[in-house]
Amino acid sequence: MLKKINRRKFILFTAASAVTASAFGWAIAQNRKTSLNSPTPSDFNPPTSSQLYKSASGLLEVDIAASLKPVNLAGKTAYLLSYNEQVPGPRLEAKPGDTVRIRFTNNLSEHSNLHYHGLHVSPAGNADNPFLNIPPKESFTYEFTIPKNHPSGTFWYHPHHHGMVAGQVFSGLAGLLVIRGELDEIPEIKAAKEEFLILQDFDLDYNGNIQPPHHMAMMLGREGEILTASGQVNPNLSIAKGGLLRLRIVNASASRFYRLVLEKHLFYLIATDGGAVETPVELKELLLSPGERAEVLVRGEREPSQYRLLNLAYDRGGMGMMGGGMGMMHGGRGMMGDNSPENPQVLATLTYQGSVSNLPLPQKLIPVEKLPQPKTVRRFELSMAMSPGMGMAFLLNGKEFDPQVVNTQVKLNSIEDWELVNIDPDLMDHPFHLHTNAFQIISRNGKPEPYRAWKDTVLVRGGETVRIRIPFRDFPGKTVYHCHILDHEDLGMMGIIDMQV
Ligand code: C2O
Ligand code: CU
Ligand code: CU
């Protein structure tokens, strides 16, 4: 039995948890003294390059093993979950038309599996099937074909075993999956220096172990104090005066949002989750909720010096009403957290090195199809409710995830509009994610989206209604949509969609 929650009940509920929660806050405060997230520019450490596996003659074949191993995190030993003992995991690169074959071995002590976030590939059989379960000590071979017309872009893989996703991703399991193609061939983009930034946050105890989450942290969505970009704290990125830097950024954190700015520089957005936009979009800041990706160009147009890539405070809601002892909690609407305007978090440092004659920005990228307005409009309500004993349930259309129930039946080769409604204006933001088929954002609260782009994860703020347009193409079968604050997904905010001819 689930009871609808309103703001007043939520206050009462959270107040009841305040004793333990402030203990949690104390732990964070203690931790901060030894925080590894130093705001001073780093010594010259470039982002870690994970091992790179590229397809050859149409095939990408790779062994990936998940295990709990000591890895080096910011110069300290941390006991993380990793793919092939690397955090982030190996970088996989394929091209449209390639076959991808991944032999996955689960060396964890719990169930796991793999999901290929953002890829337009089959969700069935041994392809991108989120319902597969690979028990401890077992192996499984995933195989799928990247369609010939698949967009080039920045995708990623991570575990997807319901109930354990947040814990496993928060412990380090994530890796890049890059599709190389037409975007990479545009001359101005080819001329840019490429860097990948996989954003992950960690919460370690003094012995380097991941801290088990507090109940409250799970409801908010767990966040860690140690921020890393491609496995490093504050790595150095270099740019030549006059040059271009292509940053390919993935929010691979379980719950943390990143509101990115680069001191004294603009971002020129060239790609979103599902690949290129039509023409670069100039941005002062870039907000990435969990699961989202963006590619931006940065111009080496300033005085040679060092500039910080900052994560500014963003209020993703939920805890504004808690006050007092909860001041240390992360992510609360109206809370101080660990990220104040005077002391923003530093993710990386850009350093000028050398110079080249001015490289131009590209004018045109890749056309983004204009989808016709469909007749079918579905409504999805994102909400929270009290559940007996457990605390809070996270719901889609009033229901918790049930692996036996198909919530949404769609016709293959059709287009639908979905209205995503976050019905709790005072509560939390939810980044909504759909597997298999990318979509376009049409409007937010009735206001048309300023440019067309392919997305697979869209932020739905508290009280907001977001309309998206989805073409269901190529692949029949069942898959899922869910909140990409992975604790919310694990706590029920997920549904099953069946796509059939
Ligand atoms: Cu990246 Cu179903 O998730
Ligand atoms: Cu996904
Ligand atoms: Cu959520």
Paired sense of beta strands 430-434 and 440-444, if any: unpaired
Ligand nearest the Cα of residue 497 is 1
Ligand nearest to the CA of 331: 3
Catalogue all structural domains in the chain, each as residue range(s) with its CATH number: 47-182 (2.60.40.420), 187-355 (2.60.40.420), 377-500 (2.60.40.420)
Ligand 3 center from residue 489 Cα (angstroms): 7
Using CA atoms, how far residue 379 sits from 58, 60, 152, 468, 481, in Å, is 41, 39, 31, 11, 13
Per-residue confidence (pLDDT) for residue 187, from 0 to 100:
98
Per the model's pLDDT, the better-predicted residue between 24 and 495 turns out to be: 495
* Side-chain half-sphere CA neighbours of 35 within 13 A: 21
Burial of 375 (0-12, 13-18, 19+ CB in 10 A): exposed
Which residues sit with Cβ closer than 5 angstroms to ligand 3, an ion? 430, 483, 485, 488
Residues with CB under 6 A from ligand 1: 115, 117, 158, 160, 291, 433, 435, 480, 482, 484
The CA 46 to ligand 1 mean position distance, Å, reads 28
Cα–Cα dist 89/107, whole Å: 15
- pLDDT of 280 reads 98
Does the pLDDT at position 136 exceed 80?
yes
List of E strands, 84-126: 91-94, 99-106, 115-117
Q: Which ligand is nearest to the CA of 485?
A: 3
Counting ligands in written order, the one closest to the CA of 291 is 1
Read off the pLDDT band of 140 (50, 70, 90).
Answer: very high
**Tens digits of per-residue pLDDT, 259-313?**
999 999 999 999 999 999 999 999 999 999 999 999 999 999 999 999 999 999 9
Q: Higher model confidence: residue 33 or residue 201?
A: 201
Give yes or no for a contact between 297 and 268, defined as CB atoms under 8 angstroms apart. Answer: yes
Nearest atom (ligand 1) to Cα of 160: 2
pLDDT value at 7 more than 60: no
Between the CA of 19 and the centroid of ligand 3 the distance, in Å, is 24
Ligand 1 atom showing the smallest separation from residue 482 Cα: 2
Task: Tell me how far apart the alpha carbons of residues 99 and 56 are, in angstroms, rounded to a whole number.
Answer: 10
Could you tell me how far CA 370 lies from the centroid of its own chain? Answer: 26
Local confidence band at 236 (pLDDT 50, 70, 90 cut-offs): very high
| Greater model confidence, 125 or 14 | 125
Nearest atom, ligand 1, residue 489 CA: 2
Nearest atom (ligand 1) to Cα of 158: 1
pLDDT reading at 66 higher than 90: yes
Tell me which range, 32-46, 239-253, 379-393, is most confidently predicted by mean pLDDT.
239-253
pLDDT recorded at residue 1: 47
Q: pLDDT band at residue 330, thresholds of 50, 70 and 90?
A: very low
- Asked if residues 164 and 111 have their Cβ atoms less than 8 Å apart, the reply is yes
Atom of ligand 1 nearest to the CA of 291: 1
And the tokens for 332? 């609360």
Q: Which two tokens stand for residue 431?
A: 């980044």
493 CB-contact burial (10 Å; exposed 0-12 / middle 13-18 / buried 19+): buried
Maximum alpha-carbon separation in the chain: 66
Count of CA atoms in the C-beta half-sphere (13 A) of 213: 24
Question: Ligand nearest 462 Cα, by number?
Answer: 3
Continuous H helices in 34-120 = none
CA of 486 to the centre of ligand 1 (A): 8
Quote the CA–CA distance of 251 and 235 in Å, as a whole number. 16
pLDDT at residue 13 tops 80: no
Which of 51-65, 165-179, 388-402 is predicted least confidently? 388-402
Confidence of residue 424 (pLDDT cuts 50, 70, 90): confident
Asked whether residue 44 carries a pLDDT value surpassing 90, the answer given is no
pLDDT at 76: 87
The C-alpha atoms of residue 173 and residue 106 are separated, in whole angstroms, by: 12
**Contact criterion met (CB below 8 Å) for 468 and 458:** yes
Residue 39 half-sphere exposure toward CB, CA atoms < 13 A: 10
Helix (H, G, I), strand (E, B) or coil at 408: strand
**Distance from the CA of 58 to the center of ligand 1, in angstroms?**
26
Closest ligand 1 atom, CA of 481?
Answer: 2
Task: Extract the runs of DSSP E, i.e. beta strands, from 211-274.
Answer: 226-229, 236-241, 244-251, 258-262, 267-272
- Residues within 5 A (CB) of ion ligand 2: 117, 435
Q: Tell me the CA–centroid distance for residue 386 and ligand 3, in Å.
A: 15
Nearest CA to ligand 1 atom 1: 117
Share of the chain above pLDDT 70, in %: 86
Q: How far, in Å, is the centroid of ligand 3 from the Cα of 423?
A: 12
Would you call 223 helix, strand, or coil by DSSP? coil
Distance from Cα 288 to the centre of ligand 3, integer Å: 14
Judge contact between 223 and 256, C-beta under 8 A: yes
Per the CB < 8 A criterion, the answer to whether 300 and 245 are in contact is: yes
Instruction: Tell the residue nearest (CA) to atom 3 of ligand 1.
Output: 117
Distance (Å) from CA 118 to ligand 2 centroid? 6
Ligand 1 atom, smallest distance to 156 CA: 1
Mean pLDDT of the 403-431 span: 95
Residue 27 clears pLDDT 60, i.e. is over it: no
Residue of higher predicted confidence among 12 and 410:
410
Residue 224, pLDDT above cutoff 80: yes
> Which DSSP letter does residue 151 get?
P
Count CA atoms within 13 Å of residue 155 on its CB side.
Answer: 29
- Please give the full DSSP string across 21-58, using - where no structure is assigned: HHHHHHHHHHHHHT-S---SPPSS-PPPPPPEEE-BTT
Report the nearest atom of ligand 1 relative to the CA of 130.
Answer: 2
Residue 338, pLDDT score? 59
| DSSP bridge partners of 237 | 350
Q: How far is the CA of 169 from the centre of ligand 2 (A)?
A: 13
